Amino acid sequence: MELHNPTSELFVPDGGAADEAVARTTHMCVGAHPDDVEIAACHGVLECFGKPDRWFMGVVVANGSGSPRDDLYADYTDEQMVAVRRVEQKKAAYVGEYCAQAFLDYTSAAVKDPSNADVVADLKKIIAAARPQIIYTHNLADKHDTHVAVALRLIKALRELPKDARPKRLLGVETWRDLDWLNDEDKTVLDVSAHENLSAALLGIFDSQICGGKRYDLATMGRRRAHATYQASHGVDVSTGLTFAMDLTPLIEDDSLDPSAYVKSFIDRFAGEVRARIGKLT
């Protein structure tokens, strides 16, 4: 597969042919940076892990050159950070038994440029070859610009594909900003209780990010545990890990639906719920 950047790469953990590996994909995550796939789309990894008929593919759009650095990595140049983060992502693809891992290797500035058609073209090529049933990506209420830009480029790419080449489901999952605020009827609840050891291993691989002074591994596992307990105020915990998603599928079923207006509808329903409760109790 010919991707735009000469430094892009399609990594196949089992060493097989890239085209065959990509074609096996059933579940895909399109994330902004190395480690976002493991934070956001643990559900997809677990759905496929050890299953002969399900395969997870990771797609990382940006190269992560601007990440903070400390400890072992304090004196690393941007180029060295890109290299180490790519190795970490490959380790995760191996541990998580992904069928393939794509690195599109764009700068954050390129991803955030709405006029950049290359990102969209690369995503179209990958999705047309992989034909995933479900794609996980960043939710549109995330507070990281590059994350939201990736989700918007992905929606554009999917809208440029014929309807029968689009996945059945598009889920916006949690990275920077969780989705606990969504009204319960607006939440897509994803159980990630299984193989907690594997989830922890995947998050722990990204040493350059954790040594950068951010315990993403502990924070992400803690968020999943907190969601499992705080999801319902009555009854006992039935899961030990949950992640929440915003269902973005309507945006690829109706190409005229405005992403901004779509997200606002969730926010409006949240505002309505808060106001109604206070109104009822005042």
Instruction: Judge whether 58 and 31 are in contact, CB under 8 Å.
Output: yes
Nearest distance from C-beta of residue 152 to Zn ion, angstroms: 15
Nearest distance from C-beta of residue 48 to Zn ion, angstroms: 22
Under DSSP, is residue 161 helix (H, G, I), strand (E, B) or coil?
Answer: coil
Taking CB atoms, the residue at the shortest distance from Zn ion is 33
Comparing CB distances to Zn ion, the nearer of 33 and 166 is: 33
Comparing CB distances to Zn ion, the nearer of 144 and 195 is: 144
Nearest distance from C-beta of residue 174 to Zn ion, angstroms: 12
- List Cβ neighbours of 256 (8 Å cut-off, separation of 6 or more): none
Instruction: Give a three-class secondary structure readout of 180-239.
Output: CCCCHHHCEEEECCCCHHHHHHHHHCCHHHHCCCCCHHHHHHHHHHHHHHHCCCCCCCCC
Nearest distance from C-beta of residue 170 to Zn ion, angstroms: 18
For residue 111, give Cα distances in angstroms to 24, 170, 266, 273. Answer: 27, 20, 25, 35
Comparing CB distances to Zn ion, the nearer of 221 and 228 is: 221
Nearest distance from C-beta of residue 8 to Zn ion, angstroms: 18
d(CA 121, CA 271): 37
For residue 218, give Cα distances in angstroms to 50, 74, 145, 148, 197. Answer: 25, 22, 23, 24, 13
Comparing CB distances to Zn ion, the nearer of 33 and 69 is: 33
Comparing CB distances to Zn ion, the nearer of 32 and 221 is: 32
Where does this chain bind Zn ion (CB under 5 A)? 32-33, 36
Nearest distance from C-beta of residue 40 to Zn ion, angstroms: 8
Comparing CB distances to Zn ion, the nearer of 150 and 228 is: 150
